[in-house]
Chains A and B, each alone.
Chain A
Amino acid sequence: MNIVKTENLVHEYERRDEEGNVEGITTAVDHVSLDVAEGSFIAILGHNGSGKSTLAKHINAILSPKEGTVWVDGLDTAQEENLWEVRQRAGMVFQNPDNQIIGQVVEEDVGFGPENMGVPTKEIWERVEESLKAVGMYEYRKHSPNKLSGGQKQRVSIAGVLAMHPKVIVLDEPTAMLDPNGRREVIRAARGLNQVEGVTVILITHYMEEIVHADQVFVMDHGKIAMQGTPREIFSQVERLKELRLDVPQVTLLAHELKNSGVPLPDGILTRKELVDALTSLKT
Protein backbone atom coordinates (compact mmCIF):
# COMPACT_ATOMS: atom_id res chain seq x y z
CA MET A 1 0.00 0.00 0.00
CA ASN A 2 1.24 3.45 -0.82
CA ILE A 3 1.70 5.78 2.11
CA VAL A 4 -0.17 8.58 0.35
CA LYS A 5 -2.62 8.01 -2.46
CA THR A 6 -5.02 10.42 -4.09
CA GLU A 7 -7.63 9.49 -6.65
CA ASN A 8 -9.30 12.12 -8.81
CA LEU A 9 -8.87 14.68 -6.06
CA VAL A 10 -10.67 17.97 -6.70
CA HIS A 11 -10.56 21.10 -4.59
CA GLU A 12 -12.43 24.30 -5.39
CA TYR A 13 -12.20 27.68 -3.74
CA GLU A 14 -15.37 29.76 -3.89
CA ARG A 15 -15.15 33.51 -4.15
CA ARG A 16 -18.10 35.24 -2.56
CA ASP A 17 -19.39 38.81 -2.77
CA GLU A 18 -20.52 40.86 0.24
CA GLU A 19 -23.91 39.14 0.44
CA GLY A 20 -22.28 35.74 0.45
CA ASN A 21 -23.34 34.79 -3.07
CA VAL A 22 -20.84 32.72 -5.00
CA GLU A 23 -19.09 35.02 -7.51
CA GLY A 24 -16.72 32.56 -9.00
CA ILE A 25 -15.06 29.23 -8.48
CA THR A 26 -11.36 28.55 -8.76
CA THR A 27 -10.40 24.93 -9.18
CA ALA A 28 -7.11 24.73 -7.29
CA VAL A 29 -6.71 20.98 -7.55
CA ASP A 30 -8.23 19.38 -10.62
CA HIS A 31 -8.60 15.60 -10.68
CA VAL A 32 -5.20 14.74 -9.29
CA SER A 33 -4.27 11.11 -8.86
CA LEU A 34 -0.93 10.33 -7.38
CA ASP A 35 0.85 7.61 -5.46
CA VAL A 36 3.68 8.10 -3.03
CA ALA A 37 5.65 5.00 -2.08
CA GLU A 38 6.54 4.58 1.59
CA GLY A 39 10.06 5.75 2.40
CA SER A 40 10.50 7.85 -0.74
CA PHE A 41 11.57 11.47 -1.12
CA ILE A 42 9.08 13.32 -3.29
CA ALA A 43 9.32 16.85 -4.60
CA ILE A 44 6.39 18.91 -5.84
CA LEU A 45 7.14 21.89 -8.06
CA GLY A 46 4.88 24.45 -9.61
CA HIS A 47 4.51 28.20 -10.01
CA ASN A 48 2.62 30.39 -7.53
CA GLY A 49 -1.03 29.46 -7.71
CA SER A 50 -0.50 26.09 -9.38
CA GLY A 51 -2.24 24.24 -6.57
CA LYS A 52 0.68 22.60 -4.81
CA SER A 53 -0.01 23.98 -1.35
CA THR A 54 -3.70 23.12 -1.64
CA LEU A 55 -2.71 19.59 -2.55
CA ALA A 56 -0.36 19.48 0.44
CA LYS A 57 -3.11 20.55 2.82
CA HIS A 58 -5.16 17.55 1.74
CA ILE A 59 -2.41 15.20 2.82
CA ASN A 60 -2.82 16.02 6.48
CA ALA A 61 -6.54 16.69 6.28
CA ILE A 62 -6.47 20.44 6.82
CA LEU A 63 -8.68 20.42 3.74
CA SER A 64 -11.23 17.81 2.84
CA PRO A 65 -11.79 16.65 -0.76
CA LYS A 66 -14.66 18.15 -2.74
CA GLU A 67 -14.49 15.18 -5.09
CA GLY A 68 -12.24 12.15 -5.12
CA THR A 69 -10.44 10.49 -2.25
CA VAL A 70 -7.18 10.87 -0.33
CA TRP A 71 -5.72 8.01 1.67
CA VAL A 72 -2.91 8.46 4.15
CA ASP A 73 -1.45 5.16 5.27
CA GLY A 74 -4.69 3.53 4.12
CA LEU A 75 -6.95 5.95 6.02
CA ASP A 76 -9.56 7.94 4.09
CA THR A 77 -9.10 11.61 5.07
CA ALA A 78 -12.78 12.40 4.42
CA GLN A 79 -13.88 10.18 7.33
CA GLU A 80 -14.33 12.36 10.39
CA GLU A 81 -13.15 9.58 12.74
CA ASN A 82 -9.83 9.30 10.90
CA LEU A 83 -8.81 12.96 11.23
CA TRP A 84 -6.79 12.60 14.41
CA GLU A 85 -4.93 9.56 13.11
CA VAL A 86 -4.28 11.13 9.70
CA ARG A 87 -2.77 14.27 11.21
CA GLN A 88 -0.59 12.19 13.45
CA ARG A 89 0.72 10.09 10.59
CA ALA A 90 1.22 13.00 8.21
CA GLY A 91 3.01 15.97 9.75
CA MET A 92 3.33 19.33 8.11
CA VAL A 93 5.94 22.10 8.18
CA PHE A 94 5.06 25.52 6.77
CA GLN A 95 6.97 28.36 5.15
CA ASN A 96 7.31 30.80 8.02
CA PRO A 97 9.11 29.38 11.06
CA ASP A 98 7.84 32.22 13.24
CA ASN A 99 4.25 31.07 12.83
CA GLN A 100 4.91 27.55 14.03
CA ILE A 101 6.91 27.88 17.21
CA ILE A 102 4.97 28.35 20.42
CA GLY A 103 7.26 27.13 23.22
CA GLN A 104 9.49 29.40 25.31
CA VAL A 105 12.28 26.87 25.21
CA VAL A 106 13.25 24.70 22.26
CA GLU A 107 12.66 21.37 24.01
CA GLU A 108 9.24 22.44 25.27
CA ASP A 109 8.23 23.41 21.79
CA VAL A 110 9.24 20.03 20.42
CA GLY A 111 7.42 18.27 23.28
CA PHE A 112 4.14 20.09 22.57
CA GLY A 113 2.95 17.64 19.91
CA PRO A 114 3.51 14.38 21.77
CA GLU A 115 2.15 15.96 24.97
CA ASN A 116 -1.13 16.71 23.19
CA MET A 117 -1.25 13.15 22.00
CA GLY A 118 -1.15 11.92 25.59
CA VAL A 119 2.27 10.32 25.34
CA PRO A 120 3.64 9.43 28.84
CA THR A 121 6.03 12.07 30.19
CA LYS A 122 9.10 9.86 30.16
CA GLU A 123 8.53 8.96 26.55
CA ILE A 124 7.95 12.61 25.59
CA TRP A 125 11.46 13.44 26.72
CA GLU A 126 12.89 10.50 24.82
CA ARG A 127 11.08 11.64 21.71
CA VAL A 128 12.23 15.25 22.15
CA GLU A 129 15.81 14.12 22.49
CA GLU A 130 15.80 11.84 19.45
CA SER A 131 13.94 14.40 17.29
CA LEU A 132 16.31 17.22 18.15
CA LYS A 133 19.28 14.96 17.50
CA ALA A 134 17.83 13.95 14.13
CA VAL A 135 17.77 17.57 12.94
CA GLY A 136 21.06 18.48 14.64
CA MET A 137 19.54 20.89 17.16
CA TYR A 138 20.12 18.95 20.40
CA GLU A 139 22.74 21.41 21.70
CA TYR A 140 20.12 24.15 21.49
CA ARG A 141 17.46 22.32 23.54
CA LYS A 142 17.61 24.84 26.41
CA HIS A 143 17.67 27.90 24.14
CA SER A 144 14.86 30.32 23.52
CA PRO A 145 13.52 29.79 19.98
CA ASN A 146 13.40 33.50 19.20
CA LYS A 147 17.19 33.75 19.46
CA LEU A 148 17.70 31.15 16.73
CA SER A 149 18.38 31.79 13.05
CA GLY A 150 15.66 31.06 10.50
CA GLY A 151 17.21 27.76 9.47
CA GLN A 152 17.54 26.68 13.09
CA LYS A 153 13.94 27.62 13.83
CA GLN A 154 12.77 25.67 10.83
CA ARG A 155 14.73 22.64 12.02
CA VAL A 156 13.04 22.96 15.43
CA SER A 157 9.68 23.01 13.60
CA ILE A 158 10.67 19.82 11.81
CA ALA A 159 11.73 18.22 15.11
CA GLY A 160 8.34 19.19 16.57
CA VAL A 161 6.62 17.26 13.80
CA LEU A 162 9.07 14.39 14.04
CA ALA A 163 8.37 13.95 17.77
CA MET A 164 4.84 12.93 16.83
CA HIS A 165 6.34 9.95 14.99
CA PRO A 166 4.68 10.60 11.65
CA LYS A 167 5.12 8.34 8.67
CA VAL A 168 5.07 11.24 6.24
CA ILE A 169 6.30 14.80 6.56
CA VAL A 170 5.02 17.43 4.15
CA LEU A 171 7.31 20.45 3.92
CA ASP A 172 5.56 23.38 2.24
CA GLU A 173 8.28 25.74 0.99
CA PRO A 174 10.27 25.35 4.20
CA THR A 175 13.22 27.32 2.82
CA ALA A 176 11.50 30.25 1.13
CA MET A 177 12.43 32.70 3.88
CA LEU A 178 15.94 31.42 4.61
CA ASP A 179 19.43 32.39 3.52
CA PRO A 180 21.63 29.90 1.62
CA ASN A 181 23.08 28.47 4.84
CA GLY A 182 19.68 28.02 6.42
CA ARG A 183 18.40 26.42 3.25
CA ARG A 184 21.21 23.92 3.20
CA GLU A 185 20.66 23.03 6.88
CA VAL A 186 16.95 22.40 6.38
CA ILE A 187 17.37 20.32 3.23
CA ARG A 188 20.11 18.30 4.88
CA ALA A 189 17.82 17.65 7.85
CA ALA A 190 14.98 16.60 5.52
CA ARG A 191 17.23 14.20 3.63
CA GLY A 192 18.51 12.80 6.91
CA LEU A 193 14.98 12.05 8.09
CA ASN A 194 14.29 10.27 4.87
CA GLN A 195 17.47 8.22 4.67
CA VAL A 196 18.17 7.53 8.34
CA GLU A 197 14.71 7.49 9.91
CA GLY A 198 12.91 6.19 6.85
CA VAL A 199 10.23 8.90 6.99
CA THR A 200 8.53 9.64 3.69
CA VAL A 201 9.25 13.25 2.74
CA ILE A 202 7.12 15.39 0.45
CA LEU A 203 8.96 18.63 -0.30
CA ILE A 204 7.26 21.56 -1.96
CA THR A 205 9.69 24.17 -3.22
CA HIS A 206 10.56 26.82 -5.77
CA TYR A 207 14.26 26.18 -5.57
CA MET A 208 15.31 23.77 -8.27
CA GLU A 209 18.63 22.89 -6.65
CA GLU A 210 16.80 21.41 -3.68
CA ILE A 211 15.15 18.62 -5.58
CA VAL A 212 18.06 17.04 -7.47
CA HIS A 213 18.19 14.27 -4.88
CA ALA A 214 14.46 13.47 -4.88
CA ASP A 215 13.30 10.03 -5.97
CA GLN A 216 10.32 11.40 -7.83
CA VAL A 217 9.25 14.88 -8.94
CA PHE A 218 5.73 16.08 -9.69
CA VAL A 219 5.23 19.38 -11.49
CA MET A 220 1.86 21.05 -11.05
CA ASP A 221 0.14 23.54 -13.32
CA HIS A 222 -3.46 24.80 -13.13
CA GLY A 223 -4.25 22.23 -10.47
CA LYS A 224 -3.14 19.29 -12.58
CA ILE A 225 -0.01 17.22 -12.62
CA ALA A 226 1.79 18.48 -15.71
CA MET A 227 4.99 16.48 -15.46
CA GLN A 228 6.13 13.53 -13.42
CA GLY A 229 9.45 11.68 -13.30
CA THR A 230 12.91 11.52 -11.80
CA PRO A 231 14.79 14.81 -11.45
CA ARG A 232 16.89 13.86 -14.46
CA GLU A 233 13.84 13.22 -16.62
CA ILE A 234 12.20 16.45 -15.49
CA PHE A 235 15.26 18.64 -15.88
CA SER A 236 16.06 17.37 -19.35
CA GLN A 237 12.92 19.21 -20.50
CA VAL A 238 14.22 22.75 -20.07
CA GLU A 239 11.80 24.36 -22.55
CA ARG A 240 8.73 22.64 -21.09
CA LEU A 241 9.70 23.79 -17.57
CA LYS A 242 10.04 27.35 -18.79
CA GLU A 243 6.52 27.17 -20.22
CA LEU A 244 5.38 26.18 -16.74
CA ARG A 245 7.04 29.32 -15.30
CA LEU A 246 9.79 27.21 -13.75
CA ASP A 247 13.49 27.03 -14.09
CA VAL A 248 16.29 24.51 -13.95
CA PRO A 249 19.43 24.67 -11.79
CA GLN A 250 22.07 26.94 -13.36
CA VAL A 251 24.33 23.97 -14.10
CA THR A 252 21.54 22.18 -15.97
CA LEU A 253 20.78 25.33 -17.93
CA LEU A 254 24.44 25.79 -18.84
CA ALA A 255 24.67 22.17 -20.03
CA HIS A 256 21.47 22.65 -22.05
CA GLU A 257 22.79 25.82 -23.69
CA LEU A 258 26.12 24.17 -24.50
CA LYS A 259 24.27 21.26 -26.03
CA ASN A 260 22.21 23.63 -28.17
CA SER A 261 25.48 25.13 -29.37
CA GLY A 262 26.61 21.73 -30.59
CA VAL A 263 28.57 20.36 -27.64
CA PRO A 264 27.69 16.64 -27.37
CA LEU A 265 26.54 16.43 -23.74
CA PRO A 266 24.02 14.02 -22.21
CA ASP A 267 20.53 15.27 -21.27
CA GLY A 268 19.54 16.29 -17.76
CA ILE A 269 22.87 17.08 -16.14
CA LEU A 270 22.08 17.88 -12.51
CA THR A 271 25.27 18.59 -10.64
CA ARG A 272 28.42 20.56 -11.12
CA LYS A 273 30.47 17.36 -10.97
CA GLU A 274 28.47 15.73 -13.76
CA LEU A 275 29.00 18.71 -16.04
CA VAL A 276 32.70 19.02 -15.32
CA ASP A 277 33.20 15.27 -15.84
CA ALA A 278 31.22 15.29 -19.08
CA LEU A 279 33.24 18.18 -20.45
CA THR A 280 36.53 16.64 -19.31
CA SER A 281 35.70 13.38 -21.10
CA LEU A 282 35.11 15.36 -24.32
CA LYS A 283 38.55 16.83 -24.07
CA THR A 284 40.42 13.55 -24.06
Chain B
Amino acid sequence: MSIIVEHLSHVYGDDTTLAVKALDDINLTIPDGQFVGIIGHTGSGKSTLMQHLNGLLKGSSGHILFDGQDIYAKDYQLKDLRRQVGLVFQYPEHQLFEIDVFSDVCFGPKNLGLSKEEIEERATNALKAVGMPKEYYNQSPFDLSGGQKRRVAIAGVLAMNPKVLILDEPTAGLDPQGRQEILDLIKSLQTESKMTILLVSHSMEDVADYVDRIIVMNHGRIAFDGAPKEVFAHYKELEEMGLACPQVTYVMHDLKEKGFDVDVNATTVEEAKNSILRALRRES
Protein backbone atom coordinates (compact mmCIF):
# COMPACT_ATOMS: atom_id res chain seq x y z
CA MET B 1 0.00 0.00 0.00
CA SER B 2 1.41 3.31 -1.01
CA ILE B 3 1.03 6.23 -3.35
CA ILE B 4 3.02 6.11 -6.56
CA VAL B 5 3.11 9.07 -8.91
CA GLU B 6 4.51 8.40 -12.38
CA HIS B 7 5.42 11.08 -14.92
CA LEU B 8 2.58 13.30 -13.76
CA SER B 9 2.16 16.65 -15.53
CA HIS B 10 -0.58 19.21 -15.25
CA VAL B 11 -1.13 22.11 -17.59
CA TYR B 12 -3.56 24.88 -16.60
CA GLY B 13 -5.33 26.55 -19.51
CA ASP B 14 -4.21 23.93 -22.04
CA ASP B 15 -5.13 24.84 -25.65
CA THR B 16 -4.92 28.53 -24.82
CA THR B 17 -2.11 31.00 -25.22
CA LEU B 18 -1.92 31.27 -21.46
CA ALA B 19 -1.06 27.63 -20.83
CA VAL B 20 0.98 27.20 -17.66
CA LYS B 21 2.72 23.98 -16.77
CA ALA B 22 1.94 23.67 -13.07
CA LEU B 23 3.34 20.17 -12.72
CA ASP B 24 6.14 18.89 -14.90
CA ASP B 25 6.97 15.18 -14.95
CA ILE B 26 6.57 14.38 -11.25
CA ASN B 27 7.73 10.98 -10.06
CA LEU B 28 7.48 9.87 -6.46
CA THR B 29 6.65 7.04 -4.15
CA ILE B 30 5.18 7.63 -0.73
CA PRO B 31 5.22 4.52 1.44
CA ASP B 32 2.58 3.93 4.09
CA GLY B 33 2.95 5.67 7.40
CA GLN B 34 5.45 8.26 6.26
CA PHE B 35 5.26 11.89 7.40
CA VAL B 36 6.24 14.03 4.42
CA GLY B 37 6.67 17.80 4.30
CA ILE B 38 5.99 19.42 0.93
CA ILE B 39 7.73 22.77 0.70
CA GLY B 40 7.76 25.38 -2.01
CA HIS B 41 7.05 29.06 -2.50
CA THR B 42 3.69 30.34 -3.74
CA GLY B 43 3.07 29.06 -7.25
CA SER B 44 5.59 26.21 -7.08
CA GLY B 45 2.91 23.61 -7.75
CA LYS B 46 2.69 22.05 -4.30
CA SER B 47 -1.04 22.59 -3.80
CA THR B 48 -1.73 21.47 -7.38
CA LEU B 49 0.14 18.24 -6.68
CA MET B 50 -1.83 17.63 -3.49
CA GLN B 51 -5.13 18.11 -5.30
CA HIS B 52 -4.14 15.37 -7.71
CA LEU B 53 -3.59 12.90 -4.91
CA ASN B 54 -7.26 12.74 -4.00
CA GLY B 55 -8.49 13.14 -7.53
CA LEU B 56 -9.74 16.72 -7.32
CA LEU B 57 -7.60 17.51 -10.34
CA LYS B 58 -6.72 15.14 -13.14
CA GLY B 59 -3.25 15.16 -14.63
CA SER B 60 -2.75 16.18 -18.26
CA SER B 61 -0.49 13.17 -18.56
CA GLY B 62 1.00 10.49 -16.32
CA HIS B 63 -0.41 8.11 -13.72
CA ILE B 64 -1.15 7.92 -10.03
CA LEU B 65 -1.32 4.53 -8.35
CA PHE B 66 -3.06 4.26 -5.02
CA ASP B 67 -2.63 0.88 -3.34
CA GLY B 68 -1.44 -0.43 -6.67
CA GLN B 69 -4.52 0.72 -8.59
CA ASP B 70 -4.43 3.32 -11.31
CA ILE B 71 -6.83 6.07 -10.23
CA TYR B 72 -7.26 7.19 -13.83
CA ALA B 73 -8.48 3.72 -14.92
CA LYS B 74 -12.00 3.76 -16.37
CA ASP B 75 -13.61 1.61 -13.71
CA TYR B 76 -11.79 3.19 -10.75
CA GLN B 77 -14.12 4.71 -8.17
CA LEU B 78 -12.76 8.15 -7.29
CA LYS B 79 -15.28 8.27 -4.47
CA ASP B 80 -13.37 5.52 -2.67
CA LEU B 81 -10.12 7.36 -3.17
CA ARG B 82 -11.53 10.53 -1.63
CA ARG B 83 -12.74 8.55 1.36
CA GLN B 84 -9.24 7.25 1.94
CA VAL B 85 -7.32 10.42 1.20
CA GLY B 86 -8.52 13.23 3.46
CA LEU B 87 -7.71 16.76 2.42
CA VAL B 88 -7.57 19.60 4.93
CA PHE B 89 -7.56 22.89 3.04
CA GLN B 90 -5.98 26.15 4.08
CA TYR B 91 -8.00 27.88 6.78
CA PRO B 92 -10.26 24.82 7.12
CA GLU B 93 -12.23 26.55 9.87
CA HIS B 94 -13.87 28.68 7.17
CA GLN B 95 -15.73 25.53 6.19
CA LEU B 96 -17.36 24.97 9.59
CA PHE B 97 -21.08 25.55 9.29
CA GLU B 98 -23.11 23.41 11.71
CA ILE B 99 -24.84 24.68 14.83
CA ASP B 100 -22.56 22.82 17.20
CA VAL B 101 -19.15 21.21 17.19
CA PHE B 102 -20.43 17.64 17.33
CA SER B 103 -22.85 17.98 14.40
CA ASP B 104 -20.14 19.56 12.31
CA VAL B 105 -17.84 16.58 12.77
CA CYS B 106 -20.76 14.20 12.10
CA PHE B 107 -21.45 15.77 8.71
CA GLY B 108 -18.86 13.75 6.76
CA PRO B 109 -19.68 10.27 8.09
CA LYS B 110 -23.42 11.05 7.82
CA ASN B 111 -22.90 11.51 4.09
CA LEU B 112 -21.29 8.09 3.93
CA GLY B 113 -24.66 6.64 4.92
CA LEU B 114 -23.46 5.04 8.15
CA SER B 115 -25.69 4.13 11.09
CA LYS B 116 -26.30 6.76 13.77
CA GLU B 117 -24.23 4.83 16.35
CA GLU B 118 -21.29 4.53 14.02
CA ILE B 119 -21.47 8.20 13.00
CA GLU B 120 -21.42 9.26 16.64
CA GLU B 121 -18.63 6.87 17.51
CA ARG B 122 -16.49 8.19 14.69
CA ALA B 123 -17.16 11.81 15.62
CA THR B 124 -16.32 11.13 19.26
CA ASN B 125 -13.08 9.40 18.32
CA ALA B 126 -12.11 12.17 15.92
CA LEU B 127 -12.76 14.87 18.49
CA LYS B 128 -10.77 12.89 21.05
CA ALA B 129 -7.89 12.53 18.59
CA VAL B 130 -7.67 16.29 18.13
CA GLY B 131 -7.91 16.86 21.88
CA MET B 132 -11.25 18.68 22.06
CA PRO B 133 -12.75 18.28 25.54
CA LYS B 134 -16.36 17.04 25.82
CA GLU B 135 -17.72 20.32 27.18
CA TYR B 136 -17.20 21.91 23.76
CA TYR B 137 -19.29 19.36 21.84
CA ASN B 138 -22.52 21.33 22.14
CA GLN B 139 -20.98 24.76 21.62
CA SER B 140 -21.24 26.67 18.40
CA PRO B 141 -18.00 26.20 16.45
CA PHE B 142 -17.97 29.95 15.87
CA ASP B 143 -17.46 30.70 19.56
CA LEU B 144 -14.17 28.81 19.66
CA SER B 145 -10.68 30.28 19.38
CA GLY B 146 -8.80 30.07 16.08
CA GLY B 147 -6.74 27.06 17.13
CA GLN B 148 -9.79 25.21 18.46
CA LYS B 149 -11.79 25.85 15.30
CA ARG B 150 -8.96 24.41 13.27
CA ARG B 151 -8.94 21.30 15.45
CA VAL B 152 -12.65 20.82 14.90
CA ALA B 153 -12.18 21.21 11.15
CA ILE B 154 -9.43 18.61 11.18
CA ALA B 155 -11.64 16.31 13.25
CA GLY B 156 -14.27 16.60 10.52
CA VAL B 157 -11.82 15.09 8.05
CA LEU B 158 -10.56 12.47 10.53
CA ALA B 159 -14.12 11.25 11.07
CA MET B 160 -14.01 9.96 7.50
CA ASN B 161 -11.31 7.52 8.70
CA PRO B 162 -8.81 8.35 5.96
CA LYS B 163 -5.61 6.37 5.51
CA VAL B 164 -3.81 9.36 4.12
CA LEU B 165 -4.15 12.88 5.46
CA ILE B 166 -3.10 15.87 3.37
CA LEU B 167 -2.91 19.24 5.12
CA ASP B 168 -2.38 22.51 3.28
CA GLU B 169 -0.68 25.06 5.56
CA PRO B 170 -2.40 23.84 8.71
CA THR B 171 -0.58 26.32 10.96
CA ALA B 172 -1.16 29.54 8.99
CA GLY B 173 -2.43 32.37 11.17
CA LEU B 174 -1.95 30.55 14.49
CA ASP B 175 0.17 31.84 17.34
CA PRO B 176 3.45 30.02 18.05
CA GLN B 177 2.03 27.69 20.66
CA GLY B 178 -1.03 27.03 18.54
CA ARG B 179 1.32 26.06 15.70
CA GLN B 180 3.19 23.65 17.90
CA GLU B 181 -0.01 22.09 19.24
CA ILE B 182 -1.35 21.44 15.75
CA LEU B 183 1.96 19.95 14.60
CA ASP B 184 2.12 17.74 17.72
CA LEU B 185 -1.41 16.60 16.97
CA ILE B 186 -0.51 15.74 13.37
CA LYS B 187 2.57 13.86 14.51
CA SER B 188 0.43 11.81 16.90
CA LEU B 189 -1.86 10.85 14.01
CA GLN B 190 1.19 9.36 12.33
CA THR B 191 2.60 7.58 15.37
CA GLU B 192 -0.67 6.42 16.94
CA SER B 193 -3.12 6.06 14.08
CA LYS B 194 -0.42 5.04 11.57
CA MET B 195 -1.70 7.51 9.03
CA THR B 196 0.35 8.65 6.08
CA ILE B 197 0.71 12.41 6.39
CA LEU B 198 1.48 14.95 3.70
CA LEU B 199 1.98 18.42 5.08
CA VAL B 200 2.21 21.40 2.76
CA SER B 201 4.06 24.31 4.31
CA HIS B 202 6.07 27.44 3.65
CA SER B 203 8.02 27.09 6.81
CA MET B 204 11.06 24.87 7.04
CA GLU B 205 11.42 25.60 10.74
CA ASP B 206 7.95 24.27 11.37
CA VAL B 207 8.44 21.00 9.57
CA ALA B 208 12.11 20.27 10.35
CA ASP B 209 11.34 18.87 13.80
CA TYR B 210 8.49 16.65 12.71
CA VAL B 211 8.78 15.10 9.27
CA ASP B 212 10.62 12.01 8.01
CA ARG B 213 11.11 13.44 4.58
CA ILE B 214 10.95 16.75 2.76
CA ILE B 215 9.99 17.25 -0.87
CA VAL B 216 10.88 20.66 -2.25
CA MET B 217 8.85 21.84 -5.23
CA ASN B 218 10.04 24.52 -7.63
CA HIS B 219 8.52 25.55 -10.97
CA GLY B 220 6.32 22.46 -11.02
CA ARG B 221 9.19 20.06 -10.53
CA ILE B 222 10.66 18.24 -7.57
CA ALA B 223 13.85 20.11 -6.72
CA PHE B 224 14.93 18.07 -3.69
CA ASP B 225 13.61 14.97 -2.01
CA GLY B 226 15.13 13.46 1.11
CA ALA B 227 15.50 13.52 4.88
CA PRO B 228 15.48 17.06 6.35
CA LYS B 229 19.25 16.97 6.85
CA GLU B 230 19.91 16.05 3.23
CA VAL B 231 17.58 18.74 1.95
CA PHE B 232 18.91 21.50 4.20
CA ALA B 233 22.43 20.76 3.01
CA HIS B 234 21.34 22.55 -0.18
CA TYR B 235 20.65 25.71 1.79
CA LYS B 236 22.16 27.98 -0.83
CA GLU B 237 20.00 26.62 -3.64
CA LEU B 238 16.95 26.74 -1.37
CA GLU B 239 17.66 30.39 -0.72
CA GLU B 240 17.69 31.05 -4.46
CA MET B 241 14.26 29.43 -4.71
CA GLY B 242 12.95 31.90 -2.19
CA LEU B 243 12.87 29.37 0.63
CA ALA B 244 14.63 29.79 3.91
CA CYS B 245 16.27 27.03 5.91
CA PRO B 246 15.83 26.99 9.69
CA GLN B 247 17.88 29.79 11.28
CA VAL B 248 20.10 27.24 13.04
CA THR B 249 21.30 25.88 9.71
CA TYR B 250 22.76 29.29 8.89
CA VAL B 251 24.27 29.66 12.35
CA MET B 252 26.03 26.31 12.02
CA HIS B 253 27.44 27.19 8.61
CA ASP B 254 28.63 30.57 9.93
CA LEU B 255 30.31 28.90 12.89
CA LYS B 256 31.98 26.36 10.66
CA GLU B 257 33.41 29.22 8.61
CA LYS B 258 34.77 30.79 11.77
CA GLY B 259 36.66 27.58 12.44
CA PHE B 260 34.33 25.83 14.87
CA ASP B 261 34.22 22.07 14.53
CA VAL B 262 30.40 21.87 14.42
CA ASP B 263 27.93 19.67 12.58
CA VAL B 264 26.47 21.74 9.74
CA ASN B 265 23.66 19.22 9.33
CA ALA B 266 22.00 20.18 12.60
CA THR B 267 18.41 21.17 11.80
CA THR B 268 16.86 21.62 15.24
CA VAL B 269 17.77 23.82 18.19
CA GLU B 270 18.46 20.71 20.28
CA GLU B 271 20.92 19.25 17.75
CA ALA B 272 22.61 22.60 17.26
CA LYS B 273 23.02 23.09 20.99
CA ASN B 274 24.63 19.69 21.48
CA SER B 275 26.95 20.15 18.54
CA ILE B 276 28.08 23.60 19.72
CA LEU B 277 28.61 22.35 23.26
CA ARG B 278 30.77 19.50 21.97
CA ALA B 279 32.78 21.88 19.81
CA LEU B 280 33.35 24.26 22.72
CA ARG B 281 34.47 21.41 24.97
CA ARG B 282 36.99 20.28 22.40
CA GLU B 283 38.35 23.83 22.25
CA SER B 284 39.06 24.09 25.96
Contacts and interface: CB of A to CB of B under 8 A. Distances in A.
B28 interface: no
Interface in A238-284: 242, 245-247, 249-251, 253-254, 257-258, 261, 263, 272-273, 275-276, 279-280, 282-283
23 contacts: A47-B175, A47-B178, A48-B145, A48-B175, A176-B172, A176-B173, A179-B41, A179-B42, A179-B243, A180-B242, A180-B243, A206-B176, A208-B176, A247-B177, A250-B248, A251-B247, A251-B251, A254-B269, A257-B273, A258-B276, A261-B277, A282-B280, A283-B280
Given A176-B172, A206-B174, 7 more contacts: A176-B173, A180-B242, A180-B243, A181-B242, A254-B248, A257-B269, A273-B254
Interface core residue of A49, A173, A254 (most chain B CB under 10 Å): A254
Interface string B11-54: 00000000000000000000000000000011100000000000
A202 to B, nearest CB: 18
Contacts of B247: 209, 249-251, 254, 272
Contact of A276 (B145, B251, B269): B251
Interface residues of B, number: 38
B175 A206 contact: yes
Contact of B175 (A177, A209, A246): A246
B42 A245 contact: no
A33 interface: no
A176 B176 CA distance: 12
Interface string A165-182: 000000001001111111
Given A48-B146, A149-B42, A179-B41, A272 B251 contact: yes
Contacts of B175: 46-48, 206, 245-246
Nearest to B238: A180
Contact of B176 (A95, A246, A280): A246
A263 B273 CA distance: 10
A173 B146 CA distance: 14
B250 interface: yes
Interface string B134-164: 0000000001011100000000000000000
Interface in B159-194: 172-178
Nearest to A248: B176
A88 B112 CA distance: 53
B41 A181 contact: yes
A272 B250 contact: yes
Contact of A180 (B41, B276, B283): B41
Contacts of A47: 175-178
B255 interface: yes
Given A258-B277, A272-B251, A279-B255, A250 B178 contact: no
A150 interface: yes
A250 B246 contact: yes
B229 interface: no
A15 B255 CA distance: 54
A178 B255 CA distance: 30
A244 to B, nearest CB: 9
Contacts of A253: 269
Interface in B227-266: 242-244, 246-248, 250-251, 254-255, 258-260
Nearest to B244: A180
Contacts of B259: 283
A156 to B, nearest CB: 15
Interface core residue of A250, A258, A280 (most chain B CB under 10 Å): A250
Contacts of A208: 176
B36 to A, nearest CB: 19
Interface string B45-75: 0000000000000000000000000000000
A210 to B, nearest CB: 12
A206 to B, nearest CB: 5
B205 interface: yes
B202 interface: yes
Interface string A223-241: 0000000000000000000
Contacts of A173: 173
Contacts of B195: none
A254 B251 contact: yes
B218 interface: no
B272 interface: yes
Contacts of B258: 276, 279-280, 283
A185 to B, nearest CB: 10
A252 B75 CA distance: 56
Contacts of A179: 41-42, 202, 242-243
A246 B42 contact: no
A272 B248 CA distance: 8
A85 B161 CA distance: 55
B203 interface: yes
Contacts of B178: 47-48, 245
A253 B246 CA distance: 12
B254 A276 contact: yes
Contacts of B255: 276, 279-280
A165 B244 CA distance: 34
Contacts of A282: 280
Interface core residue of A149, A173, A279 (most chain B CB under 10 Å): A279
